Amino acid sequence: MPEFVKFVLAPAGLRGVSLAIAGSRAGGIGIVNGELGEDIPSLLGDLDSLATHARGAWGLKVVRLEAADVESLAPFTGRGLRWLIVDLASLASSAVAIDSLRGVGVKVLAEVRTSDAGGAPLDRVDGLLLKGNEAGGFVGEDSSFILLQKWLGRTALPLYLRGGLTPHVAAACSAVGVAGGVLDSQLLLMDEVELSEALRTLVGNLSGSETVAVGDGERGEYFRILVRPGHAAARALVSRGEGLGLDGLRPLVAAEAMGWSDPARGLLPMGQDACFAAPWRKQYRHVAAVLQAIDEAIGSHLKTAVDAATIAEDAPLARSLKLRLPIVQGPMTRVSDSADFAAAVADGGALPMVAFALLKGPPLERLLAETKKRLGDRPWGIGLLGFAPQALLDEQLASATEFGPSYAIIAGGRPDQAVRLEAAGVPTFLHVPSANLIPLFLQEGARRFIFEGRECGGHIGPLSSFVLWSSMVDRLDAELAKNAVAGAEVELLFAGGIHDAASSAMVQVLVAPLVARGVKVGILMGSAYLFTEEIVATGAIVPQFQQEVLACEQTVNLESGPGHASRCAYTPFARDFFKTRVEHRENGMPADESRAILDDLILGRLRIASKGRTRRGLNADLETLSDAEQRSLDCSDGVDAREPVANVCRPRDSLARELHVEHAVARVERLANVPLEGASETGHDFGR
């Protein structure tokens, strides 16, 4: 198997090369980081230090190179300079310098933040460094997980990953052919990093959600920084940078000092993966131990995943749920409220989940009765909102238990709610947004969990799939190691950006340590079902909704306020939403008032999108809209962050085959070009 290249660099603005030196001495590639626009003369001292103390190859990261810079860098090519990373947008202007350096053996990577090369001359580089939304500094809309999936099918160039890299993620990415990745914010508490005690304490208490991507949500252009109470410069940038794209953000960032010596007066470009700094400090302490852990995970995780065949017919979770496949259809408000659609999902071998949302009274009773009748003895479940009014939840639960659903999912729920359902004979999965909640949830008796990254459709949390999943694997693995809970008692569903063979294969490799402890693992998907023939045929959505999804080239987050965001297709309504939010900001409208108005705008849009109906006025009858009216009013809520989404999801039969582990492993074998013992090139034809 080719070596997984491990780049080690300090986060943007953190000067000094101690981290890069440690990385190069531990078998990685130390990088001098000038990504905030530092010119070559200002970096010569760092380059000289790294060249003097590094062992083996090392590199440099800058925004662009001028032809005159080659002369300054020439002496270093004989002292170990073997890698150069530049921004994708600067490839054309840096062409002369790039060609000169490549001519003397320097490998050049272009850092990209989107799935569009924009006409850049990719033939001038040796690979692409994909920088996900969860990374620190300038980022785009797509997370590392999504950006990787988009580029896997679009280029033959080697791909490297930046954002959310951990030993588990490195193993998952290596399995699908990724050539390497970057470590920066994750390493901030290693012994080799020089930080003040105050800053070490600050970093040691981060969960990742404290970092904020400031910028333009409509175009997906941001600058990610840490924002905490008392961080005046960071809070000012959040206020001034709201709605600005890269061209507007760059001068604002350049005008601010970096806050590595004084966080209150400067910016801290830090990624969500800073959440790993504290646990890695306890587990590894040194950069060398982290790099060794990555190498070991790459070797062990893949074998465990292949041997376990986690996402396969008759896999452990499939048996536990009495299904053919360990796949659960995620509850979708105003979409998965159809008994016929539930039956179609069950026909495909997965577990259908009927979404209750705020449904009550006779409509809820009818839905339950029809679902029970259509499903018969086959498993089915209900999706509840744990944050709904308690009186409504009590009514919904009373109605549901009469019809004997097999399972339940509670979004935003609490362990006591799950325990109550379990006592009533309804096994229940809880969404868990933070790894810090795992010990409490286990202690209170919960054993079934959903880990859903921000790539999902509908309401989203702050953390990307890679960051969330890795932190959950680590925390749950640590809890199971105490032997207070048996791994076989725990059932997990992973969600957010999973839709095909490659994405499901990455999940299987990433969770290998938990599988080795006997944990039962499956996947939860919602958006993938929007592409099926059955979802329209059963009336779960109208044809116009599916056409919007098929034509979707971009998903956006409609954020009415902090912590209140939904991922949606980019439709005319989404454009109007962003326009309204900009007008509120420019008019100085108070945040609470703006949020209330934006929430009102969203209210009822999902029914317009999925069913093509609306209610004009309180207690008025529902009326059917024309296609044009529907498109102008809807928000196509619930679409995963993939582009173009039409090319990555398939009708039910094909979907089931693609998600079979044998096909996933076969694709892994092709992409990674490694022999996998026991892997089959053909799988069961589940759809026939």
pLDDT at 629: 63
On the question of pLDDT at 647 being above 70, the answer is no
Q: What is the pLDDT of residue 625?
A: 67
Strand partners, 561: 564
What is the model's pLDDT at position 553?
83
Q: Is the pLDDT of residue 1 over 90?
A: no
Please tell me the predicted confidence (pLDDT) of residue 427: 95
Q: Which fold has domain 309-533+649-672?
A: TIM Barrel (3.20.20)
Phi, psi of 455 (to 5 degrees): -75, -10
Question: Nearest 5°: phi and psi at 575?
Answer: -60, -45
CATH of the domain spanning 5-188+285-300, picked from 2.40.40.20, 3.40.50.720, 3.10.150.10, 3.20.20.70: 3.20.20.70
With a CB cutoff of 8 Å and minimum separation 6, the contacts of 148 are 130, 159, 161, 173, 176, 178
Same fold, 5-188+285-300 and 309-533+649-672: yes
Q: Does the N-terminal peptide bond of residue 229 adopt cis geometry, omega within 30 degrees of 0?
A: no
Kindly indicate the confidence band of residue 559, based on its pLDDT and cuts at 50, 70 and 90.
Answer: confident
Average pLDDT over residues 293-307: 96
Give the range among 147-161, 442-456, 522-536, 669-683 with minimum mean pLDDT. Answer: 669-683
What was the pLDDT predicted at 683?
24
Which of 160-164, 314-318, 487-491, 571-575 comes out lowest in average pLDDT? 571-575
- The SS3 call for residue 215 is strand
Q: In what order do the strands lie in the sheet containing 458-459?
A: 458-459, 564-569, 555-561
Question: What percent of the chain shows pLDDT beyond 90?
Answer: 75
Q: Is the pLDDT of residue 481 over 90?
A: yes
Percent of the chain with pLDDT over 70: 88
Q: What is the pLDDT of residue 661?
A: 32
Q: What is the pLDDT of residue 680?
A: 23
Mean pLDDT (the chain) is 88
User: For residues 152 and 502, what is the distance between their CA atoms, to the nearest angstrom?
Assistant: 9
pLDDT value of position 413: 87
pLDDT: which is higher, 565 or 484 = 484
622: left (phi over 0), alpha (psi -120 to 50) or beta: beta
Q: Is residue 347 pLDDT above 50, yes or no?
A: yes
3-state secondary structure (DSSP) of residue 625: coil
pLDDT surpasses 50 at 671: no
CA distances from 623 to 131, 600, 617, 635 (A): 45, 19, 11, 18
Class of residue 162 by CB neighbours under 10 A (exposed 0-12, middle 13-18, buried 19+): buried
Task: Say yes or no to pLDDT of 667 above 50.
Answer: no
Asked whether residue 664 carries a pLDDT value surpassing 50, the answer given is: no
Q: Give me the mean pLDDT over the 318-338 stretch.
A: 94
Predicted confidence (pLDDT) at residue 45 exceeds the cutoff of 70:
yes
Q: Counting every residue, how long is the chain?
A: 688
- pLDDT at residue 30, as a whole number: 98
Domain ranges in the chain are 5-188+285-300, 198-273, 309-533+649-672, 538-647
> Given pLDDT bands bounded at 50, 70 and 90, which one contains residue 124?
very high
DSSP helix/strand/coil, 349: coil
* Predicted local confidence at residue 602, as pLDDT: 77
